[in-house]
Structure 1
Amino acid sequence: MTAPQAPASQAPGAPLRHGRVSLSLSFFVQGVVFALLVTRIPAIQVRYGISDGLLPVFLAAVPVLAGAGSVGTEHLVRRVRPSVVLRCVQPVVCLALLAVGSVGSVAQVAVALGVFGLSVGALDASMNMLGVSLQRAYGRSIMLGFHAAYSLGGIVGASLAWAGAHWKLPLGLLYGPVVALLIPLALVVGRWFVDGDERAAAGGADGAKAGTPVAMRLLLPLCLVMAFAYIGDSTVSNWSAKYLQDVLGGSEQLATLPYNVYMVTTLLGRTVGDLGVRRFGPVAVVRTGTVVAAAGFAVVAAAPGAWVGMAGFTLLGLGLCVIVPQTFAAAGRQAFEEHGPGASDTTVARLNIFNYVGFLIGSPLVGALGDAWSYRGAMLVPMALVLVTLVHARSFGSAPARYGDDHERSRTADVGRGSNGL
């Protein structure tokens, strides 16, 4: 017997649907921009003559400043709606990317990277704030879909970067046309962003004001999960190519594939992930993703050759992809249940800091362990850290009460509102 369908009149209204599409496009734009930056770091180093000793300082400064941008956004959204923050900072991120490829000195590129870091922290925080509030308004899981759009943007950006490298395009010539397309797109879609919950949007209100975030001691399990997930992600981003070539004996061409495979499987997992959350609930999906990701690290560590290692990176993409979006959703829901809808924005901004903590720790940690011990053994460390998510899996659950919402179907798992739902 199929689940009863909600009447057409009770479906999400046009403002919510437009808000969902526009926010997905914003995630897509950010995926393109970020991929264009990180995949062309070697070219940036060569263009500006940045030494091998100085490059790690530049790379570490970006997540540190992004964390500062997220902290600033936590306070900013107490006075300004997240949609306004996102509309303002996304063009800045795009322009900062263009500046990275176009300025004339090391000092200028350092400033450009600093602006990129600060603005991307505000952008990541505000995007996920809007995603959490839209999910609450919809009354069902849609958060993974936003991150799927980011993964798609990452694939497009990496493909453009490959084309630029293949045709030996100067960075400014590669970034310029892309930015010229992305900024107007970001400005246009920003007109349909939706703040706060569905009822505030329907009533023409400005949305709920930001309130007190969840106390850090209560948020700590989700912060750890976020940091450990990004340690796993940065391990793939920074070490997959070297590992496949130097440890597993793959060719130079084959070594370029693991990250692409990882991104594609991340996209696939996130595309269908919301369906899994609606059917089985967030706890079951996060537990499954954690086990699959840990299995992926184990396969990579034990792989006898390059193709088995590729299978391990495939599992990693399918497993890790569900954890981060559900961590944001769980934090927003916890804040909503404890302090009301306005608190979720500041809580999401606080949690977002641990995105950059994991990114900052992951690559140096694996590199140091690989040099001091072995790279096979180093892969077991992010595996163990990701498995900590199983200990905190209950943090992804919610109160047994249903949404009490017109959009809810009888078999949809409770992922958006708790017992204090509007």
Structure 2
Amino acid sequence: MTAPPAPGAQLRHGRVSLALSFFVQGAVFALLVTRIPAIQDRYGISDGLLPAFLAAVPVLAGVGSVATEHLVKLTRPSQVLRWAQPVVCLALLATGAVGSMAQVAVALAVFGLSVGVLDASMNMLGVSLQRSYGRSIMLGFHAAYSLGGIVGASLAWVGAHWYLSLAVLYGPVVAVLVPLALIASRWFVDRSPGGGERTPETCEAGHTATTAPVAMKLLLPLCLVMAFAYIGDSTVSNWSAKYLQDVLGSSEQLATVPYNVYMVTTLLGRAVGDLGVRRFGAAAVVRAGTVVATGGFAVVAVAPGAWTGMAGFTLLGLGLCVIVPQTFAAAGRLAWEKYGPGASDSAIARLNIFNYVGFLIGSPLVGALGDVWSYRGAMLVPMALVLVTLVYARSFGSPEDGYGDDHERPRTADVGRGSNGL
């Protein structure tokens, strides 16, 4: 068996352009979620009504993901992504610039729907491009998302520090990101029914022939892994500051640090994660990430003080960061192998829904358990859920060497396969 040839210029350009798309999405999403208190104050949204506003976004994002499964039967995922991303950016601007509560509700609804379309189509392109490359590159795309999240959160901090209005904060950012996204989209690379690069010509000639139904039974283990990973992620994003301050007795300033550390370690873990997948296989990397994340939750639950708690959140970032990208990659591979090329897009659209399921469940679950039990005990629940990933780790690997393209590779180059059958 021989390694695949080096990717051509079109694939390399496609990789860079898609990474830019992931970066833009990370920045935009961070700019929204980190300024929720400011949005609430601007439009007079009550504490009782705010959860309904926040829950509507992931619910509608799930609807958008379902719609994407059908959209890509009519056109290429790259076209769906190309026009969904500007809509997301403009919806962010509208969220900070409209004049009433009803109008911001519409803006958030548009944001939610378009985010679902964007997330699904973006990961479809990532998985197909990874297959064309013949080696793991999916974690790198999600590293770009994490970098965008750090940049977006930093811009949000600048806006809060200088008391900028939401419109003043969002306006210049959107003015830069929309042209950037549209220019980058010119180099997106789809995949053809025959397995090569899917150009507009090959897609028009027969993209509908690549579509195929996917049984949810095949995807169920990965759907659970996705949901549990996002329960863990939402626990950190929603409760780390409160946990450090109220349970571990940190200062208000120190309580803001864990999530920033979590984001940085997520970026670092994803930046090097593809190398681990190429060397050890996806199943081994996911197992290792699961063990590290479980250990992070355990450290947080028993931490005697704030600094130990921050060490636990650091471990969480290093562990959780590899699971979601590899879950998308594994779903695309399983559907491709069982149903054919087009089934990969359908599988990813369905799997993406459980991203939002985990996001919806995680925060209220930990909050409810913290109120009726204790917040230390509440940390053990997402820990146990993430640990379940070990049961399903075989879904990330396959003993066969063949990749489904016109060539084969050494096992260490496999994407979504563990060595020695892991």
TM bracket, shorter-chain basis:
over 0.9
Taking structure 2 as the reference length, the TM-score comes to 0.95
Deviation at 1:200, TM superposition (A): 3.7
Mapping 1:196-275, distance limit 5 Å: 196=191, 199-201=196-198, 204-206=201-203, 208-209=207-208, 210-275=210-275
Deviation at 1:305, TM superposition (A): 0.3
Q: Give the whole-Å Cα distance in 1 for the aligned partners of 2:272 and 2:177.
A: 27
Q: Which amino acid aligns with 1:171?
A: L
2:67 pairs with 1:72: yes
Q: Give the whole-Å Cα distance in 2 for the aligned partners of 1:405 and 1:211.
A: 18
Map of 1:403 onto structure 2: 403
Question: Cα RMSD between the aligned structures?
Answer: 1.8
CA contact (8 A) 1:138 1:407 kept: no
Aligned residues: 413
Change (3 A) 1:412 1:179: same
2:144 pairs with 1:149: yes
CA contact (8 A) 1:140 1:412 kept: no
Q: Which amino acid aligns with 2:318?
A: L
Q: Give the whole-Å Cα distance in 2 for the aligned partners of 1:60 and 1:212.
A: 31
Percent identity of paired positions between Structure 1 and Structure 2:
82
Q: Which amino acid aligns with 1:205?
A: T
Q: Which amino acid aligns with 2:327?
A: T
2:34 pairs with 1:46: no
Change (3 A) 1:327 1:410: same
Mapping 1:88-167, distance limit 5 Å: 88-167=83-162
Query: Which secondary structure state, in structure 2, belongs to the residue aligned with residue 379 of structure 1?
Result: helix
Change (3 A) 1:404 1:222: closer
Deviation at 1:347, TM superposition (A): 0.8
Deviation at 1:398, TM superposition (A): 2.2
Query: Which secondary structure state, in structure 1, belongs to the residue aligned with residue 191 of structure 2?
Result: coil
Q: Which amino acid aligns with 2:69?
A: E
**CA deviation map 1:109-145 (0-9, x unaligned):** 0000000000000000000000000011111000000
Q: Give the whole-Å Cα distance in 2 for the aligned partners of 1:110 and 1:74.
A: 25
Change (3 A) 1:317 1:360: same
CA contact (8 A) 1:98 1:179 kept: yes
Deviation at 1:410, TM superposition (A): 3.5
Instruction: Report the more deviating stretch, 331-340 or 206-215.
Output: 206-215
Query: Which secondary structure state, in structure 2, belongs to the residue aligned with residue 253 of structure 1?
Result: helix
Q: Which ranges of structure 2 fall in alignment gaps of 5 or more residues?
A: none
2:36 pairs with 1:31: no
Instruction: Report the more deviating stretch, 207-216 or 31-40.
Output: 207-216
Mapping 1:307-318, distance limit 5 Å: 307-318=307-318
**CA deviation map 1:168-221 (0-9, x unaligned):** 000000000000000000000000001115624379512744422431112100
Q: Which amino acid aligns with 2:73?
A: R
Q: Which ranges of structure 1 fall in alignment gaps of 5 or more residues?
A: none
CA contact (8 A) 2:212 2:343 kept: yes
Change (3 A) 1:227 1:108: same
CA contact (8 A) 1:143 1:274 kept: yes
Q: Give the whole-Å Cα distance in 1 for the aligned partners of 2:261 and 2:63.
A: 32
Q: Give the whole-Å Cα distance in 1 for the aligned partners of 2:163 and 2:142.
A: 31
Q: Give the whole-Å Cα distance in 1 for the aligned partners of 2:238 and 2:119.
A: 21
**CA deviation map 1:374-418 (0-9, x unaligned):** 000000000000000000000001241233768865363321699
2:339 pairs with 1:339: yes
Map of 1:286 onto structure 2: 286
Q: Determine which of 8, 14, 38 is the counterpart of 2:9.
A: 14
Map of 2:190 onto structure 1: 195
CA contact (8 A) 2:65 2:353 kept: yes
Change (3 A) 1:294 1:152: same
Mapping 1:50-61, distance limit 5 Å: 50-61=45-56
Taking structure 1 as the reference length, the TM-score comes to 0.95
Q: Give the whole-Å Cα distance in 1 for the aligned partners of 2:160 and 2:19.
A: 28
